[in-house]
Amino acid sequence: MPANVPRKALLSITSYHGPLYADGSKTGLFYTEALHPYEELVKAGFEVDLASETGHYGIDDHSLEKDFLSGDDEKIYHDPKHPFNVKLN
């Protein structure tokens, strides 16, 4: 990529945070599905912004289960000062 081209990226996340699952839990932003691309883009030198249809979002309840959120991802989720979480809020 030429040096004079801005290295910016926009990740679009859903605003919908309503019931979807048979157990009544809500769908929404699947945390790691936004976190992982964010981290890769930042690592590649991009300035990354997040956007949703309404400016708000809700986390998919199932995305916080141990099968999907563990290790470093879980540490990041619980760190309100991590740049990704700052962007979300």
- Tell me if 70 is assigned to some domain: yes
Which residue segment(s) compose the domain that 74 sits in? 8-88
Those residues with Cβ within 8 angstroms of residue 55's Cβ, 6 or more apart along the chain or in another chain: 15
Mean pLDDT for all residues in the chain: 94
Is 82 among the domain residues? yes
Q: Is residue 78 part of a domain?
A: yes
- Inform me whether the pLDDT recorded for 31 exceeds 70: yes
- Residue 84 covered by a domain: yes
Containing H/E element for 11? strand 8-12
**DSSP H stretches of helix in the chain:** 31-43, 71-77, 83-88
CA 13, 26, 67 angle in degrees (round to 5)?
85
Tell me how many domains the chain contains: 1
The answer to whether residue 3 is domain-embedded is: no
Query: Using one digit for the tens of pLDDT, what is the confidence trace for 5-22?
Result: 789 999 999 999 999 999
The tens digit of pLDDT for each residue in 57-80 reads 999 999 999 999 999 999 999 999
In a domain, 2, yes or no: no
pTM: 0.88
48 is a domain residue: yes
pLDDT at 76: 98
Does any domain span residue 1? Answer: no
